[in-house]
Chain A
């Protein structure tokens, strides 16, 4: 069993839709949770990170963590074609290496 599980998609939605991207994990020692966005032929870029259970909002993006269920989510409101990319969840124990999910391919159709 992988430490971090993420549905690879692809997920295809119409412009303006609310998108929900999810990851589950098995290591209860993970303390920090991150979402990276990766455009085709580019390196990943950090979108958001959170430490505790609950929600964190940044513009159209909301990151949600439920440590009791070992489940994290990224919500994108009013999705745009420019949001089309691969979204990678990532997790870390303090001082240890970052562990990535496999990534979910998102396609937003105009």
Chain B
């Protein structure tokens, strides 16, 4: 079964440094999502792409976070500078289309970020 690929699996960085996460969605999935999951909480949407366009980044801290999906396929999420409160699991998900469970989200295994 096709999977969403994410790298790296784990990242430890010092505060004020820059970090980047990469995601390769399932082939053919036009919608791509980045979620942040703090330990003990459910995932929260950071940004949603439809092809190469951002359709929802209302919860993305834009002073330090950026996301791109230049060719409408893979995507990169960047944090600069990292803060202690950014320690979390960063999950990427993809779906054929947004907004319905007939097109469910498929999640990758995430990147566990620790900021020291």
Contacts and interface: CB of A to CB of B under 8 A. Distances in A.
B44 interface: yes
12 contacts: A6-B42, A32-B100, A43-B93, A43-B107, A44-B91, A51-B101, A92-B99, A92-B100, A92-B101, A95-B98, A97-B45, A98-B45
Interface of A: 4, 6, 8, 32, 34, 41-46, 49, 51, 88, 90, 92-98, 100-103
Nearest to B48: A97
Contacts of A100: 42-44
Contact of B43 (A32, A42, A44): A44
Tell which of B4, B40, B43, B44 has the most Cβ of chain A within 10 Å: B43
A95 B99 contact: yes
Interface string B81-99: 0000000000101000011
Interface of B: 4, 40-45, 48, 56, 91, 93, 98-101, 104-110, 112
B101 A34 contact: yes
Interface of B is mostly: loop
A73 to B, nearest CB: 17
Nearest to B45: A97
Nearest to A8: B40
Contacts of B40: 8, 102-103
A46 B104 contact: yes
Contacts of A92: 99-101
Given A41-B112, A44-B43, 4 more contacts: A32-B100, A43-B93, A43-B107, A44-B91
Contacts of A32: 100-101
Contacts of A34: 101, 104
B68 to A, nearest CB: 19
A44 B107 contact: yes
Given A42-B109, A44-B107, A49 B43 contact: no
A96 B99 contact: yes
A95 B100 CA distance: 7
